[in-house]
Every structure is written in structure tokens, then in C-alpha cells.
Structure 1
């Protein structure tokens, strides 16, 4: 199996959608009653947060990959 980079934004997005699925599963199994408007902010907020985490992760990784710029020429 090929190794890949850890992507925390995708992990967070998957966790939020799994939680939304579990909420609907509990509602369908009559374990509890979930109003229709509860899951929409959860999914939208979770996906927005996952996007922000993904962008921050991308910025950090891009910053680590760029070599440091050389100082001004002429100084020794």
C-alpha cells in the first residue's frame, strides 16, 4: 500500500458527515427525535471548518517546502 500525506481537513469533513449520518440513523431507528433543521448547520459548519483546516494545512506545508531565500548579495 502506498503511503500518503495526512490530511486533517478531509478527516474532519468525514467525521462531521459521519456524525450527521449517525444523527439521522438514530432518528430513523426511533432512538430519538431530530428536528430537520439541526443537521443542516452541523454539516455546513463542519464542511466550512474542514475547508479552513485544509487551507491552513496547505499553507503550512507550502511554507515548509520552499527553501529559505538567500540574503542580500554583497554581505559576507
Structure 2
């Protein structure tokens, strides 16, 4: 049972930021030398990709229609019964 909706845009954003953290951690640990400007395209590209994926996901969900949550009332019954 899912407790929340899967959001692939947030997954991509998190992956890009973790990758940036790994690059800086490797530099801090002495595993390799990383110029300061290398992480900027990684973070910006990851956030732009995440935004695009999030927008496409929103369009797909809007087009397919959202399922009614358990126990939730959409208000349709109140309008159709007249009262």
C-alpha cells in the first residue's frame, strides 16, 4: 500500500543533489580534485530536468484523472441530492 504519490521529479532532483554532494565529498576526502564550477551544471541541469519531469508528470496525471482518495468526499453527492 502506497502512503503517498510517487513523484519522479523529486527523485531526479534528489539524485542530482546527492551526486553533487558525492563530488564535493570526494574532493574533501582527497580522492580527486574538483574545481568549484563543476557542480553548478550538475545541480542546475538536475533541477531543470526535475522540473521538466514534474511538469510532464502533472500533465499526465491531470489528463488521466485523479483517483478519489479513500474516505474522501468530493462533494458530488451534496450537489446531486439537492441538499
Mapped to 2, the partners of 1:59 and 1:29 lie a distance apart of 43
Aligned to 1:39: 39
Mapped to 2, the partners of 1:36 and 1:4 lie a distance apart of 37
Q: Deviations over 1:27-69 (max 9, x none)?
A: 0000000011110011001000000000000000000007xxx
How many residues are paired up? 66
TM-score (norm 1): 0.82
TM-score (norm 2): 0.75
1:27-66 counterparts in 2 under 5 A? 27-65=27-65
Where do 4+ consecutive residues of structure 1 move more than 4 Å? none
Taking only aligned residues, the RMSD between alpha carbons, in angstroms, comes to 1.6
Aligned to 2:69: none
Aligned to 1:4: 4
Mapped to 2, the partners of 1:58 and 1:3 lie a distance apart of 19
- From the two aligned structures, give the one with the greater helix fraction: 2
